[in-house]
Structure 1
Amino acid sequence: MSTQDAEGLDVAAIREDFPILEREFNGHDLVYLDNAATSHTPDQVVDEIARYYREYNANVHRGLHQLSQEASIAYEDAHDRVAEFIGASGGREEVVFTKNTTESMNVVAYAWGLAELGPGDEVVLTEMEHHAALVTWQQICKRTGAECKYIGLTEDGQLDMDDARDTITDDTQMVSAVHVSNTLGCVNPVSDLADVAHDHDALFFVDGAQAAPNRPVDVEAIDADFYAFSGHKMCGPTGVGVLYGKEHLLEEMDPYLYGGMMIRKVTFEDSTWNDLPWKFEAGTPVIAQGIALAEAIDYLDDIGMENVKRHEERLAEYAYDRLTAMDDVDVYGPSPEQGRTGLVSFNLGDVHAHDLSSILNDYAVAIRAGDHCTQPLHDRLGVAASARASFYIYNTEAEVDKLVEAIEGARDLFA
C-alpha cells in the first residue's frame, strides 16, 4: 500500500486492500457510506487475525507452553501499541481492552460511578451524546441519586461552551462528552471542556468512537481522565474496544467484572486483584481482536492520521456543499468552515429517512438512516430521524456524486 504526500491519499491503492468494495448489486457498484457505523477491514488486518488462529492460537496468561507464551506477548504488545497511538505515556497499564465503546463507558460508570456518586452529586453530559453515554450515566444517576445535567447546543449545531461553564459546578463529579458527534459531525473542544471540568475537581470522560478513527488523538494533551473508542470503526475487527484511564484512577477503582485472569489470590473468604490492565479484563479476553486492532493501527499510521483527517474533512466539505445546494435537503450540524468531520446527516423534504435509505440501496449506495443512537438530539432538532452519509479513507468525491444522483432519483420517485 502506498500513500501520496500531504495533498491527499492514494485512494486507488488503498481501495485495493478492501476487496469488499469491489462488490456490485442491483446493477451498480457498491458505494459504502456507512463508515460511522462500522468501517471495512483491510486484507492486512484480516491476515493478522488468520495468522493468530493458524500459527499461535492459545489462551493468554495461563500456559507455560510455547503457543501461550507467543499469544501472551502479542496480546500485551497490542496494549502497548494502542497506548502509543493515543499518547498514553503510562503504557499498557492505562489501556483496557473491552468489547466496544459502550462497554468501556459501562466499566467506568459501574466501577467508579456506583462507588463515588450519591445524592447532591452531578454528572454533566451534552445534548449530542450517543446512547452509550447518555443511557449509561442516566441509569447510574437513577441508582445513586445523583443528578444528570446536559450542556446545550448553539443554533448552528455546536457545543455551547458558555452553557458548559454555567452547567458544570462544584457539585459536578463527572463530565462526559463526545469528541466528535456521530450525528452533527462537529468536533468538540474537548481540551477546553477538560479544563472546565478540572477547575471544578470533576473527572472528564471522552467518547472518542468517532474521533480515534479519523484524527490524531493525544489523551494527555486533552487531559482526559478516561477516553474510549472501538476497533471496528477504524479498520479493525468487531468485538474489541479500548478504555484509556489515568493509571491512578484505574488503580483506585474496583473491577467491573469478576472471574478468571483479573485476580491475584483467591481464598474461600476473599480475593485480591491482578495488576493493571488485567484486573479489568475478566475471563478469556479479546485476544485475536486485540492483536488485529494493533495491526489496524499500524495500517492507519502508515497512511498518517493527519492525512486521514484531511481526506475525511475534504469529503465532508464536498458532500456538505453538494447537499446544501439542493433546495429540499436539510443538513444538520455546523458548516465545514466551523469545523466538521467526515459525516453529513440530512433529510430530503418530507421523505422519511428510512424510505430514502431504502431507495438509495437500490442504487447500491449504503448509508445509515434513523436516530443514530441519539434520540434526544433528534428531538432537539425537531425530526424523528435523519439520513447519514459517513466517509473514510477509501471513499472518493465520485462516490459523493453517486450519492447525490441517488437522492435525486429518490426525489423523482416521491414527487
Structure 2
Amino acid sequence: MLEPSSNRRLLIVDPCDDCHRLLPGLRNVGWDVYSCTLSSAQEYPCDVGLLRLQASHLQHPDAVKDLISRSNTEWIAVLSPDELRTQNVGDFVCEWFFDFHTLPFDVSRVQVTIGRAFGMARLRGKGNVHVDGTEHELLGDSRPIRELRKLLSKLAPTESPVLIRGESGTGKELVARTLHRQSQRRDKPFVPINCGAIPEHLIQSELFGHEKGAFTGAHQRKIGRIEAAHGGTLFLDEIGDLPLELQANLLRFLQEKHIERVGGSQPIDVDVRVLAATHVDLEKAIESGRFREDLYYRLNVLQVVTAPLRDRHGDLSMLASHFSHFYSLETGRRPRSFSEDALVAMGKHDWPGNVRELANRVRRGLVLAEGRQIEAQDLGLATQHAFAASMGTLEDYKHRAERQALCDVLNRHSDNLSIAAKVLGISRPTFYRLLHKHQIR
C-alpha cells in the first residue's frame, strides 16, 4: 500500500491512453498521480479518483459501488460518447460520481473539475470517517466524549463492577463493549442481556440456565448468560427493570461468585466482570421499593455517565457523516453529504433519542434522498423550526443567544476553531473565553 503523500493525490483507475496524456499537466499543477486497476484500487489512498468507466463496469457495477463507498473521497467518471448513450448510465453516474467527462478530454476543464472535487472532499471531511469493523467507535471531539474516553481508559483495566448511566440512545452498550475491549478479558466472551426485553418468567432461566426437566418444556440442559460469560464480561442492560426476586439472586451471585442452574443443586463457580446500565433513577427506585439498595451498592462501585447528544456540541456533523457512510453499505446507495438546511435543522433539533435517533434519521435520509445531498425533510426535520423560548430578562435572552451562536458555529466548524471565531467576528482568545463561560467542549 502506498504511504500517504503531503501533496494532493489523484488516482486514475483503469486508465486509457487519453488518461495517460493528462499526467504531465496534472503533475505540473501539483498533483501526485497514480494509476491502477479496479481490483487493486482500494489499496491506494487518494484525495480524488478518476475512473475510466467502461461497459464491463456498467454490466457488473457492484465493484465500482464498493470502491466508491469505501474510499471516502470524490470520484469523476470518464466515458466515451457511445458509453454515455448507454441505457441507465446517466442514473448510475449521477448516483455514484461527483462529476463526469467525455472523451476526448478538455484538459483545462478536467483540471477545474478535479480541483472542485478536491475542495468538496475537504469541505465534507471525507477521508476522516472510517466504517470498517462491526462496532461504531466512540466518535467525537467534544469535551464530554474526550472526558469519557479518558475515564474508560482508566476503568477498563480494573475488575470492579461499573454502573453506566445515561439517557436512552446515548451509547451505554458501546461504553460497555469499549470497557471489555480495553480490559484484560478482551479475548473472552462479552455477553449482553437486556433485562427489560425478556419476559419475566424467562429471566431466571436466561440468567442462570436450567437443567433438563427443570420445568415443562425444558427438554435439555441450558447454559445461562452468566455462565456463558465465564472468564469475560457480563453486561446487564436496563438493570432497573430486573424483578425484585431476580435482584436477590443476582446479589447472591455477586457475593458468592457461583450460581445454581434452575432445577439444579450443584454450585457452579463463575468468574465474570459485571457491567450494568440504566436510564432510570435508581435512587428513586430504591426509595419506592423497586430496587434493592444492597444490589445498588454492589453494582455502583465505579460509575460512568454518558452525555446526551444535545450536550455534545460540534460532534453532530461528524457523527452524521459517519452514519451516512456506514449505512450506505447497507442501502447500496452512494454515501451522501448533508445540505446546509439539513445541518442547520440538525443543529436546532433537541435529539431526545440521542445518537440512536441520529443514526435512524440518517439511515432514513439515505433511502429518501433524491438529490446529491440529504435534505432536512429527508431526515424528518423541519427546515424552519420555531422554538417557544420562555420569557426572561434581557440578560437571559443575551445569554441564550450567545450560547446558541457558539453551538451553531461549532456544528459547522468544529474542526477549525479559527474559522469558527472568524465567522462570529471575534478573536480566537475571546472565542475560547466564551466556550469556557458557557461550559462548551
TM range (shorter): under 0.3
Which structure is richer in relative contact order (CA contacts within 8 A, separation 6 or more)? 1
Calculate the TM-score normalised by the size of structure 1.
0.25
Give the structure with higher Rg (CA): 2
Calculate the TM-score normalised by the size of structure 2.
0.24
